[in-house]
Amino acid sequence: MSADIFTAPLQKPAHLGSDWLEPKQADYSSADHAIWDELFARQMAVLPGRAATAFIEGLDKLDLSRGGVPEFGRLSEELDRLTGWSVVPVPMLIPDHVFFWHLANRRFPAGNFIRTRETFDYIQEPDVFHDVFGHVPMLTDPTYADYMQEYGKAGWKAMKYNRLKALGALYWYTVEFGLIMEGDDVRAYGAGILSGPTEAKFAVEAESPNRIMLNVDRVMRTDYVIDDLQPTYFVIESFADLFKQTVERDFDRLYKNLPPAFTYANSAVIDVDYVVNRGTQEYLLRGGRGSGAKPV
Ligand SMILES: [Fe+2]
């Protein structure tokens, strides 16, 4: 994803209210449903053994393998029964305060469009496949579902202290690119990893990236890349630990002490880190995506 889509001012389409919700889900053509099915099959060829158990079970609980872009009404009914969440359609990336408000009310905003053949491998804006396949299965896990709500609440506070960048890093390193320990193995639960073709292998198996146990304070001081594979992934012990670290942290105090800019580079290992694997950073040193370096 190019950086400017996250920083460009968002223009609300005239037909939407202040909640930014589309009145109804898009009508997808059979070609669109076929794109979903191909993306689904591509991911399922790499995710078993690399994705978190909670994710694989979530796919199953929501019957996401039934084929085609899921219908949000039915999906929300099933999700509501499990954890009280729903999935709501939005036209594009939405402003932070609206996004936080939906999360705090256990609504997950999902893109109301699907990528085209031309953008099959690389899309700028998160589409329905990224949002629903990548994020929604995790919302079937009760503890993770509570974490997402807490994150939404923390967002309002971050805005008050002008520390959205720091909270954005927490989202990035957990919800989008998080890893979890399962026995002696790491597995992916972040949607950015789970919805793309390359990063599952890289994040879980490659020698290049660092894997460091997550510490909320440390992560919120760490820079991140949005248009390439991560030089560092943060690993949680359990969703209960992630939830606990987030709700028990006094965000008022944290935000007051955080500098406005990030303290740590995204490839840094610092002396307080509990390191699972220290990466070679080979991919980054070869120049990353721009140089055509092979990730794994
Ligand atoms: Fe996402």
Q: What digits encode the pLDDT tens for the residues 98-144?
A: 999 999 999 999 999 999 998 888 777 899 999 999 999 999 999 99
pTM for this one?
A: 0.94
Predicted confidence (pLDDT) at residue 283 exceeds the cutoff of 90: yes
Average pLDDT on 217-241 reads 95
Tokens encoding 40: 């689904």
Q: How far is the CA of 131 from the centre of ligand 1 (A)?
A: 6
Predicted confidence (pLDDT) at residue 230 exceeds the cutoff of 90: yes
Q: How far is the CA of 230 from the centre of ligand 1 (A)?
A: 15
Q: How far is the CA of 293 from the centre of ligand 1 (A)?
A: 24
pLDDT at 2: 47
Q: How far is the CA of 124 from the centre of ligand 1 (A)?
A: 11
pLDDT at 221: 96
pLDDT at 7: 57
Q: How far is the CA of 109 from the centre of ligand 1 (A)?
A: 10
Average pLDDT on 234-256 reads 92
Q: How far is the CA of 275 from the centre of ligand 1 (A)?
A: 26
Cα 94 to Cα 68: distance, rounded to the nearest angstrom: 25
Q: How far is the CA of 247 from the centre of ligand 1 (A)?
A: 22
Cα 125 to Cα 119: distance, rounded to the nearest angstrom: 10
pLDDT at 38: 97
Predicted confidence (pLDDT) at residue 4 exceeds the cutoff of 70: no
Average pLDDT on 186-191 reads 98
Q: Is residue 151 within 8 Å of 246, Cβ to Cβ? A: yes
Report long-range pairs for 222-225 (Cβ below 8 Å, ≥24 apart).
Answer: 222/169, 222/173, 222/262, 222/263, 222/264, 222/265, 222/266, 222/268, 223/169, 223/262, 223/264, 223/265, 223/266, 224/169, 224/172, 224/173, 224/177, 224/266, 225/266
Q: How far is the CA of 2 from the centre of ligand 1 (A)?
A: 14
- The torsion region of residue 28 among left (phi > 0), alpha (psi -120 to 50) and beta comes to beta
Predicted confidence (pLDDT) at residue 175 exceeds the cutoff of 70: yes
pLDDT at 179: 98
Cα 210 to Cα 25, 52, 219, 286: the distances in Å are 40, 19, 13, 16
pLDDT at 5: 53
Give 249's pLDDT tier (boundaries 50, 70, 90).
Answer: confident
- Give the E-state strand segments of 146-226 in sequence order: 179-182, 185-188, 210-213
pLDDT at 1: 40
- The torsion region of residue 165 among left (phi > 0), alpha (psi -120 to 50) and beta comes to alpha
Predicted confidence (pLDDT) at residue 226 exceeds the cutoff of 90: no
Tokens encoding 65: 């393998």
Any idea of the CA torsion for 97, 14, 134, 157, to the nearest 10 degrees? 0
Q: How far is the CA of 191 from the centre of ligand 1 (A)?
A: 6
pLDDT tens figures, 45-60:
999 999 999 999 999 9
Q: How far is the CA of 33 from the centre of ligand 1 (A)?
A: 20
Average pLDDT on 83-97 reads 95
